């Protein structure tokens, strides 16, 4: 059943990406428990609800991986590459389904605004950004699901080539380092 759900989510993501922009994705893609929560309180992993870090913790928990901010001190997205190194999680430049796409504050990456052509730039805000790699295209770009990319606390799907990927409890591709 979980495999069927993943296939449906991926197909829906691909349809959304061929349609175009960083727009809110269909509600059926967003299974996040706090998608309508208006508070700024912490989720069960210690991250602020409806932020990119909370979304990634949610997606990782569906893989059986706990990213607990209280125990692991992941911090905000700007800290995630250093936290990953401290916890011996490999980091690399190859998108893999299940990896975490990561941007440091102000860092830019290639973005496919029409989901087909790499002619845009996605730049992280002052707290950095993370997203969950839901799919990978033959050119190495990633289908990334996320929250709060535009500061609106909303769910979206984009096609990007992130500056780096964090591989938590998964086989890292060649070239990844600790």
* Residue 6 confidence class, pLDDT cut points 50, 70, 90: very low
- Distance, in Å, from the CA atom of 72 to the CA atom of 136, rounded to the nearest integer, reads 28
Instruction: Say if residues 10 and 135 touch (Cβ distance below 8 Å).
Output: yes
**Of the candidates 75, 98, 116, 82, the residue with the CA atom closest to the CA atom of residue 168:** 98
Alpha carbon dihedral 150, 155, 161, 163, in 10-degree steps, equals: 60
How many C-beta atoms surround the C-beta of residue 147 within 10 A?
Answer: 26
> For 134, phi and psi rounded to 5 degrees?
-95, -25
The alpha carbon of 158 is separated from its chain's Cα centroid by a whole number of angstroms, namely 10
Place of tokens 């069960």: 44
pLDDT in tens, 70-111: 888 999 999 999 999 999 999 999 999 999 999 999 999 999
Ranges of beta strands (E only) in 23-161 are 91-92, 100-103, 108-111, 120-123, 129-136, 142-147, 155-161
Per-residue pLDDT at 67 exceeds 50: yes
> For 168, phi and psi rounded to 5 degrees?
-100, 120
pLDDT at residue 39, rounded to an integer = 95
**Of the candidates 174, 94, 169, the residue with the CA atom closest to the CA atom of residue 138:** 94
pLDDT at residue 28, rounded to an integer = 54
pLDDT in tens, 13-58: 333 333 333 444 444 578 999 999 999 999 999 999 999 999 999 9
Question: In the chain, which ranges are continuous DSSP H helix?
Answer: 2-19, 52-62, 69-72, 80-86
pLDDT at residue 121, rounded to an integer = 93
pLDDT at residue 10, rounded to an integer = 37
- Domain 2-166: which CATH number of 3.40.630.190, 2.40.50.40, 3.30.380.10, 3.90.1720.10: 3.90.1720.10
pTM, rounded to two decimals: 0.84
Per-residue pLDDT at 172 exceeds 70: yes
pLDDT in tens, 112-144: 998 899 999 999 999 999 999 999 999 999 999
pLDDT in tens, 142-155: 999 999 998 999 99
């Amino acid at each position: 059943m979980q495999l069927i759900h993943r296939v449906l989510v991926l197909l829906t993501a691909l349809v959304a990406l061929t349609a175009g922009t960083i727009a809110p994705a269909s509600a059926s893609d967003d299974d996040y428990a706090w998608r309508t929560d208006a508070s700024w309180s912490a989720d069960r992993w210690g991250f602020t609800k409806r932020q990119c870090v909370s979304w990634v913790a949610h997606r990782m928990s569906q893989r059986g991986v706990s990213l607990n901010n209280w125990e692991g001190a992941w911090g905000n997205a700007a800290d995630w590459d250093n936290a990953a190194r401290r916890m011996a999680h490999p980091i690399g430049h190859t998108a893999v389904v299940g990896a975490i796409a990561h941007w440091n504050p102000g860092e830019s990456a290639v973005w496919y605004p029409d989901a087909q052509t790499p002619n845009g730039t996605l730049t992280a805000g002052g707290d950095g950004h993370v997203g969950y790699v839901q799919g990978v295209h033959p050119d190495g770009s990633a289908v990334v699901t996320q929250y709060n990319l535009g500061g609106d606390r909303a769910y979206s799907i984009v096609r990007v080539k992130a500056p780096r990927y964090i591989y938590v409890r998964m086989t890292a591709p060649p070239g990844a380092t600790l």
